[in-house]
Chains A and B, each alone.
Chain A
């Protein structure tokens, strides 16, 4: 905690606290979840960066979408994302959430996750190793620092389009819209 760190803390405690205390939602969405346990335990220890798995979305502000997103999981992802509290960031693992990856022609997986919930960062690699996850976290820090990790603001502003896309897929969702 050198001197300019303390200066940053005093100037913008919200940014600094958001950076150094990212609690990830403990929800395995795809094949990438196998990378999370080694990254939070002894070998790679994510807790050094302040990342611990949060028991429920209300206490979390980081959502790791690990791997391909099937239609059934997308419903749970949207529900969990909407239950997370406001300054929230999402990171997509691998190429499947970007453009469908190797399931590009499957009838059951989502091609562009970005159409349904905002994603702040992507990690390349068909299941990135823990080191890659930590590099992504440091990039997320700089994004937060420069106020570019604004996925949640984008979600709030264009909620109508997001909601329309979600309803296009499922016909009708059984929970009311989040923002009027």
Chain B
């Protein structure tokens, strides 16, 4: 049976695969072919989307979206070992936008909301793109590297006055 790595290579052209680790395959692609790659892998049996996360590369002014897939039921590719497929793609940092994969994987919804709230990546096609954790909204999303948390704490919490006891007369 052809290995999984060769299958992906001959189907997708600009794909860099490195299966250096024992049960993990890293796939770097451009942002256009991510959705078709996810679709293809889902048919192969990797139907469990473990995680969607985002890495902030400030110096290259890019975000890196990471999708981790794995398979519950063993299929023919699993006979050697349990493989996690980690797909990485790069998107620009200004006005970051990416297509939502909810129609492929239902459980991507909270991850995308979290990335939208904490990194400011706008997912097109997401039904409920509302804040998930934070109670107040910040002008620069807090997980971005250029968000200076100490400065925020100083000017947001400092200007809340301490309660002075009103010494009423009675």
Size class of A's contact patch? 20 to 34
Q: How far is the CB of A164 from chain B (nearest CB, A)?
A: 8
Assuming the contacts A75-B135, A170-B135, A170-B136, asked whether A157 and B160 have C-beta atoms less than 8 A apart, the reply is no
**A143-175 vs B: 1/0 string, CB under 8 Å?**
000000000001001100110010011110000
Which residues of A have CB within 8 Å of B152?
A: 107
Which positions 124-161 of chain B face chain A at CB distance < 8 Å?
A: 133-136, 138, 142, 147, 149-150, 152-153, 156-157, 159-161
Which residues of B have CB within 8 Å of A170?
A: 135-136
- A105 & B150 in contact (Cβ 8 Å cutoff): yes
Query: Within 8 Å of chain A (Cβ to Cβ): is B10?
Result: no
Which residues of B have CB within 8 Å of A154?
A: 163, 165
Query: Within 8 Å of chain B (Cβ to Cβ): is A58?
Result: no
CA A118 to CA B165, docked complex, whole Å: 11
Size class of B's contact patch? 20 to 34
Q: Could you tell me the dominant secondary structure of chain B's interface residues?
A: loop
Say which residue of B136, B138, B149 sits within 8 Å of A106 (CB atoms).
B149
Q: How far is the CB of B152 from chain A (nearest CB, A)?
A: 5
Query: Within 8 Å of chain B (Cβ to Cβ): is A15?
Result: no
Query: Within 8 Å of chain A (Cβ to Cβ): is B94?
Result: no
Which positions 102-144 of chain A face chain B at CB distance < 8 Å?
A: 104-108, 110-112, 114-115, 118
Q: Which of B153, B159, B166 has the most CB of A within 10 A?
A: B153
